[in-house]
Amino acid sequence: MMKTRLLISILIVFTSVMLADGGSSGTEIVPKSGTSGSHFLLISPDAGFAGMGNAYAAYKNTSASSAFYNPATLVYLDNKDLFFGMVNWAADIQFTSAAYAMQMGNGRAIAFHYRALNTGKINETTIFEPNGTGNTFAWKSLAVGVSTATQLTERFSFGVNLFYIKEGVAKYDMEASAWGVDLSTFYITGFNTLNMGMTIRNFGPELDFDKTFVDYANGDTATVDESYRPYHIPLQFQIGLNYEFFENDPDQQLFVSVDGVHPNDALERLQIGMEYNYMNLLSIRGGLYSNHDSVSWMGGFGVNGKSFIQQDITFNYSVSNYGLLGFLHQFSIGYGL
């Protein structure tokens, strides 16, 4: 009876968060698209989670990639783990990531990680030379950090991720930097296999380029140079539930996750994902976004090398449909040390 009441309470709170309309009172909600920057922080490094709709808040992750999603689950590492991921983003933009995590004993774990985005060479143009100057430049973004997690009880853990952000165009001496923080919790409800998780990602100050630029109006320059305006990093609150089916079947597992997401620069949405695991060898994944301006569905698969080459290595692949941007492909590799 107590477990049933707990589940009902959790579902009521969860549903309230997902269905909140921001106090619109029936009026149309206008998304705040373009009001934040550093969106490379929202690119999903792990192809496993990308394939299941990034519904990761309540998923019991046992790899080093936990640092990028819900660092509270780092406490469930077996020992040490190494992760590497790469995303072929739109317009030939490259995004890479890596993480190393290890158990510290007494229900504590730590991880070190980085994320980097590189646009590659972009042709330089000016108002006087719109066809190009013959020079090129590249926009680069970098985030490096450390994560720590503590298991406060047998069912509840807490995680923190502290990271340093730097991005801009070094060639023009135009770069901005700041510190950011992620906070997360993970809770095993005790109701069958139901888990609950929560993350607050990218909490931090605004970034600002300490530079000025020449503004033009009708081909004439302004009398006073303009200053670049500061911008927020993409703050995001995410709460989710995860349930495992076939938990008593040693040959197969089915995980279903539902997350409610509240970003600071877009409409609230649902992220739904599933993962079917057969013989701890092959994983098939699928996911959906309910209310996103570009991405709609994702899918992918994973292979666990421990079952046939006796090495604790995993390979994951995913593909995401981003509408006008096309299909985005990514892969990631994990290695247990």
Quote the longest CA-to-CA distance of the chain: 74
pLDDT number for residue 74: 97
Nearest to 260 by CA among 79, 62, 55, 64: 55
How far is Cα 240 from Cα 245, in angstroms, rounded to an integer?
17
pLDDT number for residue 248: 86
pLDDT above 90 for 178: yes
How far is Cα 145 from Cα 111, in angstroms, rounded to an integer?
8
pLDDT number for residue 22: 44
Tens digit of pLDDT for each residue in 89-115? 888 899 999 999 999 999 999 999 999
Q: 65 — phi, psi (to 5°)?
A: -65, -10
pLDDT number for residue 30: 62
Mean pLDDT for 171-177 is 91
pLDDT number for residue 311: 72
Task: State the pTM of this model.
Answer: 0.87
Q: Are strands 156-169 and 140-151 parallel, antiparallel or unpaired?
A: antiparallel
Mean pLDDT for 137-161 is 96
pLDDT above 50 for 121: yes
pLDDT above 70 for 174: yes
pLDDT above 90 for 127: no
pLDDT above 60 for 4: no
Q: What is the DSSP letter of 155?
A: S
Mean pLDDT for 123-148 is 93
pLDDT band at 336 (very low <50, low <70, confident <90, very high): confident
pLDDT over 90, % of the chain? 67
Tens digit of pLDDT for each residue in 239-261? 999 999 998 888 999 999 999 99
Tens digit of pLDDT for each residue in 63-90? 999 999 999 999 999 899 999 999 988 8
Two tokens, residue 193: 């296999």
pLDDT above 60 for 120: yes
Instruction: Pick left, alpha or beta for residue 219 (phi over 0 → left; psi -120 to 50 → alpha; otherwise beta).
Output: left
How far is Cα 203 from Cα 162, in angstroms, rounded to an integer?
10
Q: Are strands 236-245 and 252-263 parallel, antiparallel or unpaired?
A: antiparallel
Which of helix, strand or coil describes residue 146? strand
Q: What is the DSSP letter of 8?
A: H
pLDDT band at 201 (very low <50, low <70, confident <90, very high): very high
Mean pLDDT for 146-154 is 96
Q: How far is CA 74 from the centre of its chain?
A: 15
Tens digit of pLDDT for each residue in 42-58? 999 999 999 999 999 99
Q: Establish how many alpha carbons lie within 13 A of residue 35's alpha carbon, considering only the half-sphere containing its beta carbon.
A: 10
Check residues 295 and 142 and name the one with the higher pLDDT: 142
Tens digit of pLDDT for each residue in 256-303? 999 999 998 888 999 999 999 998 899 999 999 988 888 889 999 999
